[in-house]
Structure 1
Amino acid sequence: MSEYQYYEFVSIDQPLTLTQQQELRALSTRARITSSSFVNDYQWGNLKGDPQTWMERYFDAFLYLTNWGTQRIALRLPVNVLSPDIVAKYCVGGSARSWSTRTHVILDLLSEDEDSDEVYDGGGHLAAILPARTELAAGDRRLLYLAWLLCVQGRELDDDEPEPPVPPGLGNLSGPLHALVEFLRLDPDLLAVAAETSPPLHEKAPSTSALSRWVKTLPESEKDKIVLRLLSGDHTHLRSELLRRFNGTTPEDLTGGGRTAGELLTSAEKRWAHRQQLARQRDAAERKHREQAAAAAREQHLNALAGRQEQVWQQVAAMIETKKPKEYDAAVALMADLKALAERGSDTVTFRRRMRQLRERHARKPSLLDRLNRAGLG
């Protein structure tokens, strides 16, 4: 079976220069390269470059997907927007790691599942997830917690490993975070258990009057710096930075969840077992309902035939005379109805006598006799 590998890199904060695009083109003649992206897939061969180096030098996001179950996504943010120390509290295993350069911190998340039966198509995944990077830049730490949870799911942490600070809103993920959860194949039971101690997320935007009052409290020198950054083009994450300051919360304000990796896994397993039990009970109830409905329909059908047995026997005889397989099947079904009516009316002797006569009359029709035997019509 041929291999499939999909690579997608995106530059968000700064476009690629012409020189950078030429550097990338020298490594791939068939990739789709623009001022903001590099996209290529491989049926044979591999990328002639190191994704880690590319993330450090060129790009803010990277997605990798294969047909043998490897799925990887990396995101880069400036260190003045996202502290490497904070990221390091959550990216603590092989499934979620991080590193930093002089200017940026990079998160690298990995999911492996060789038994996955997914349809492997790389297009669209990164676009669905990318807004989560903006949420992270704005101070939303749910993505970081999901990274830590990925390590828990992979059994990469000791059972007594303490839970890091739990951000609000885990029970109500945004669309991009949902896309990330699906891409990383995070266990829904583990996520649900983790969300139990996560407070609601207050998403209401601050009012203009509240922002105005806050801006008036800023020193003039601070306002000058903000305007200068805006005019000089250093404004990509400026709004997110200012809103974090306005809200007055930092990751350090969050407290640990108080649970351990082992406790989360145990609770997730119990939740899964409970869901399975409920599913079995639901299936049993639905099956019983279907059986009762089928029995009621059967009784209604037999009631409609009651008193018309002789007509039905004549109909059976006519069907058999056609010597057609479909008519044989229909005749056998009618004879099963006649047997049920005989048993209900305690007249099985007459039914068995007529069946013996029918078998003798059609002894040279092996196909019919075989059907009668399989239907238990003696």
Structure 2
Amino acid sequence: MSEYQHVEFRAVDRPLTDTELAYARKQSSRAEITSWSFQNFYTFGDFHGNVQGMLRRGYDIFLHYADFGIRTIAIRLPNGLPFAEKLWSQYIGSGELTWSPDPRGNGGILTLDPYHEPGELDDLWEFEKYLRSAIEIRKRIQLGDLRALYLLRLITLIDSQEEPLETLEPPVPAGLGEIPKDFHTFLDFFGLDSLLISAAAEVSPEQPNTHSQEKLIEQWVSSQDESDAKSLLHTFLTRDPVAVKAETIAKALNGKNNAGWPTVSPSRTGLELLTRTEQLRKAQNEKEREKQAAAEKRKAAKQAQDRKERMELMVKDPNKWLRKVDKLVKARGIHNYETAAETLDELREALADKDGKRITHQHAAHLAQKHPTLNRMKSSLRKRGLLD
């Protein structure tokens, strides 16, 4: 059985320069490469390019999927983590969620690489939605959203080589009950139930007041003096303006929205979270069963009422329904034969006397005599006891 691997890089802040594109092309001879993306798949062989080199030369997101267990997401953060190290170190460094700082500057690469046994997870094919979710996670981290960092650590806690039975979760940030849809998609990429977030959110405080990206940029611009503005203008006019814009936005967002983000001290183990998730799943399934049962009850009641009204009409004009039976038989087809037999059966019950039985049985015999080759029709009539 052949394997399948999907490798993709995506640029978010800006397109790659010609120099960066040249580097990307050296990493693979058969990938589809543009200034915004690098994509390749393998049914035999592996990607041997330099992932961190690619992320430090223009691309911002890396996704690696293999149907034998690999599911890796790497995120480039050009201005680093917008959290104090004392805080982010409680989430990062598990062995499967790592931070690789750049040789120079504050930037680095955040990599999530949990372990999965071959065949443990269902196969995936729609990678675009998972890339979009990774881009949203990156944006949230840059905005100082501690919930995004918690989500990454939660994945390694539950779905990794660690001992989830005993390992404590990290500090639980506020607002877990109000997370973007992409967070659930991100969990899905790693084969985890989105109810895991619901379980975690049960101890999460209310979400703090946060500012939009536009508001944070506005605040940052207002804080710049004339000298800063002139320096930025000079940089904008002498360097790649797209790159400068991306760097400036990242700088404006860096660390502006994470101060004092409320958290709850960890108290639950991975096992407790998994157990609670299963309890929520059972409750949800039971609720769905009750909902389905109620819907089926309403449907049955509606069908019973419709049948009652139909049979009342049959009593008033039996010949009308006999003509309908004739039309159904003339139209041919198994469904029409079944409907014709059902209609005659209802007519027999609606008339509820000897005449009803006589009329319907005589009409069934008439149909059999008129259409001697329609064996499916005669079989339908016999099943209803209308034909000997």
TM-score class normalised by the smaller sequence? 0.7 to 0.9
How far is 1:287 from its partner? 0.3
Matched, 1:90 2:97: no
Q: How does 1:1-378 map to 2 (within 5 A)?
A: 4-10=4-10, 18-34=18-34, 37-42=37-42, 44-52=44-52, 54-55=54-55, 59-66=59-66, 70-77=70-77, 78-79=79-80, 81=82, 86-91=87-92, 96-101=96-101, 102-103=103-104, 104-110=107-113, 116=122, 118=124, 120-123=125-128, 125-127=130-132, 129-154=134-159, 156-174=162-180, 176-177=182-183, 179-198=185-204, 199-204=206-211, 235=248, 237-241=250-254, 243-244=256-257, 248-249=259-260, 254-309=263-318, 311=319, 315=323, 328-329=337-338, 331-342=340-351, 345=352, 347=353, 351=357, 355=361, 359=365, 362=368, 367=375, 368-377=377-386
C-alpha change, 1:231 and 1:264, in structure 2 (3 Å) is: farther
C-alpha change, 1:37 and 1:168, in structure 2 (3 Å) is: same
How far is 1:292 from its partner? 0.6
Contact 1:13 1:60 in 2 (8 A): yes
How far is 1:269 from its partner? 1.0
Contact 1:91 1:97 in 2 (8 A): yes
How far is 1:357 from its partner? 9.3
Whole-angstrom CA distance in 2 between matches of 1:124 and 1:361: 58
Counterpart amino acid of residue 287 in structure 2:
L
How far is 1:33 from its partner? 3.7
Identity %: 26
Whole-angstrom CA distance in 2 between matches of 1:31 and 1:131: 25
Q: Which runs of 5+ in 2 are unaligned?
A: 236-243
- TM (norm. structure 1) is 0.74
How far is 1:63 from its partner? 1.7
C-alpha change, 1:105 and 1:289, in structure 2 (3 Å) is: same
Whole-angstrom CA distance in 1 between matches of 2:98 and 2:231: 31
Whole-angstrom CA distance in 2 between matches of 1:18 and 1:152: 40
Contact 1:152 1:265 in 2 (8 A): no
Contact 1:5 1:67 in 2 (8 A): yes
Whole-angstrom CA distance in 2 between matches of 1:151 and 1:328: 60
Count of equivalent residues: 361
How far is 1:193 from its partner? 1.6
Counterpart amino acid of residue 107 in structure 1:
L
Whole-angstrom CA distance in 1 between matches of 2:250 and 2:322: 86
Per-residue CA deviation, residues 177-204 of structure 1 (Å, 9 max, x unaligned), is 4553454454221111212222213124
Contact 1:89 1:164 in 2 (8 A): yes
C-alpha change, 1:203 and 1:230, in structure 2 (3 Å) is: farther
C-alpha change, 1:133 and 1:49, in structure 2 (3 Å) is: same
Structure 1 residues 57-66 or 292-301, which shifts more? 57-66
Q: Matched residue of 1:171: which SS?
A: helix
How far is 1:361 from its partner? 9.3
C-alpha change, 1:284 and 1:93, in structure 2 (3 Å) is: farther
Whole-angstrom CA distance in 1 between matches of 2:255 and 2:347: 83
Contact 2:344 2:360 in 1 (8 A): no
Whole-angstrom CA distance in 2 between matches of 1:321 and 1:236: 73
Structure 1 residues 347-356 or 96-105, which shifts more? 347-356
Q: Matched residue of 1:369: which SS?
A: helix
How far is 1:372 from its partner? 1.8
The corresponding residue for 2:238 is none
Per-residue CA deviation, residues 295-352 of structure 1 (Å, 9 max, x unaligned), is 000010100011444x36964896699695677555423321232125xx3x359726
Contact 2:349 2:356 in 1 (8 A): no
How far is 1:5 from its partner? 3.5
Contact 1:84 1:100 in 2 (8 A): no
Q: Matched residue of 2:21: which SS?
A: helix
Whole-angstrom CA distance in 1 between matches of 2:7 and 2:28: 12
Contact 1:71 1:110 in 2 (8 A): yes
Counterpart amino acid of residue 24 in structure 1:
A
Contact 1:98 1:107 in 2 (8 A): yes
How far is 1:93 from its partner? 5.6
Q: Which runs of 5+ in 1 are unaligned?
A: none
